[in-house]
Chains A and B, each alone.
Chain A
């Protein structure tokens, strides 16, 4: 369960002092915390684990890793409904 999943940052916003965003993971869009990855912005690919962006990756790496995790059946966490305000 501690594999990080790559996604593309499609929105960046602030939520009460926290730098947040939305990332697209192969069609599933989830909220992610970007606060601790200050150099990641719109259009960048990031490795995300349970809603927390850990590092930037290049697009080819992101694409390949995503497909690999899909094959390995490791994308289950993305299917959990998000707690919306």
Chain B
């Protein structure tokens, strides 16, 4: 199992770290975009291994975290209706809205069911012809094909009692929003590995060229992440923008063309609100005209919902790389995973929840990979 150990080997990590230290002459701020990367970085203390000049800030790549409060409140309003079976990925169950969460609604009699695959919700609709079955279709580009499959399948099979509450978001417009933020500190990105298995990295090339930044498509393991940092820093030191693929054993430039065709058969690009950040132009997907009959927002007239976010939460600044969890006075005291105040604490992949899970609210040292 030589190959297997290569990405966990402390000697390989030490060698890359030495190279990072050797090539770094100035301070640089890098952002990892994917929530899975954030989780791995904090768990393995990758950020603490880096030379002081290199700072990692954590991006908006946790789909559960950035799902806007309005959509969560709409989900709760729909789930509470008599006759509705509300289906969702398990991750959304504990996410608090303005008034409640799905788990609490379930305990008070609402029919809320966790599904593994969105297409399972279509099956539930077929088995319950007298009920309205709604699926909460959240996620980034990695999840979009599975969500598109569910709604195209429902239409193909004539399942009319199925609809989706859509809150799909896209990574590149969020990266552009980070770069456009007043006071932006991010100079280079570790790009999202699994998002690119679907999308490829052509659109990241356009982003890198426009904003003159390096973007290195990176995996999730400690050695991947260190390698991604090294490649990004090398480019920054040499003044070279552009895209590099660190994760070439999984990601190709074109991604999965058939899966993308499926996405565009059901969805179209729209402006979307991100929890903590606000509306980002052309940063989301909504059902296209042909699928309006399957749009839960049209089927259930939930109307305008009034939302309430705690004023002291700084998740918007954390998601844009302007602040870290420690900068928040509520972190670890008034805001914990059990009682989250905002976006970055509501899911394990959020920066605040990851810092909390690995003891950083207590200032404890973190295990070295």
Contacts and interface: CB of A to CB of B under 8 A. Distances in A.
B289 interface: no
Given A36-B258, A47-B250, A52 B36 contact: no
Interface string A34-78: 011110000000010111101101101101110110001110111
A63 B1 CA distance: 10
B167 interface: no
Contacts of A67: 4
Given A2-B34, A2-B194, A54-B142, A68 B149 contact: no
A79 to B, nearest CB: 8
Contact of B197 (A35, A47, A77, A82): A47
Nearest to B64: A1
A77 B36 CA distance: 14
Given A1-B139, A36-B259, A76-B90, A50 B117 contact: yes
A61 B250 contact: yes
A2 B145 CA distance: 12
A83 B194 CA distance: 26
A55 B118 contact: no
Q: A-B pairs with the 5 shortest C-beta distances? A: A51-B117, A83-B120, A52-B146, A80-B116, A2-B142
Interface string A1-32: 11110000000000011100000000000110
24 contacts: A1-B35, A1-B89, A4-B197, A17-B156, A31-B117, A33-B119, A36-B256, A37-B256, A47-B197, A47-B250, A50-B146, A51-B119, A52-B145, A54-B197, A54-B256, A55-B250, A68-B7, A72-B36, A76-B91, A77-B89, A80-B116, A82-B116, A82-B120, A83-B115
B153 interface: yes
Nearest to A76: B90
Contacts of A57: 249-250
B174 to A, nearest CB: 13
B197 A2 contact: no
A83 B162 CA distance: 15
Given A2-B139, A64-B4, A64-B7, A83 B124 contact: yes
B39 A54 contact: no
A74 B36 contact: yes
Interface range for A: 35 or more
Interface of B is mostly: helix
A33 B116 CA distance: 13
A2 B153 CA distance: 22
A31 B149 CA distance: 14
Contacts of A82: 116-117, 120
A54 B198 contact: yes
Given A2-B140, A38-B258, A78-B116, A51 B249 contact: no
Interface range for B: 35 or more
B153 to A, nearest CB: 7
Contacts of A50: 89, 116-118, 143, 146
A39 B40 CA distance: 31
Interface in B119-143: 119-121, 123-124, 127, 139-140, 142-143
Interface string B69-107: 000000000000000000001110000000000000000
Given A33-B119, A55-B252, A74-B39, 18 more contacts: A1-B62, A1-B63, A1-B64, A2-B61, A2-B139, A2-B140, A2-B143, A2-B194, A3-B36, A4-B197, A17-B156, A37-B259, A52-B146, A54-B145, A58-B249, A60-B4, A67-B4, A82-B120
B262 interface: yes
A81 B256 CA distance: 28
B194 A52 contact: no
Contacts of A83: 115, 120-121, 123-124, 127
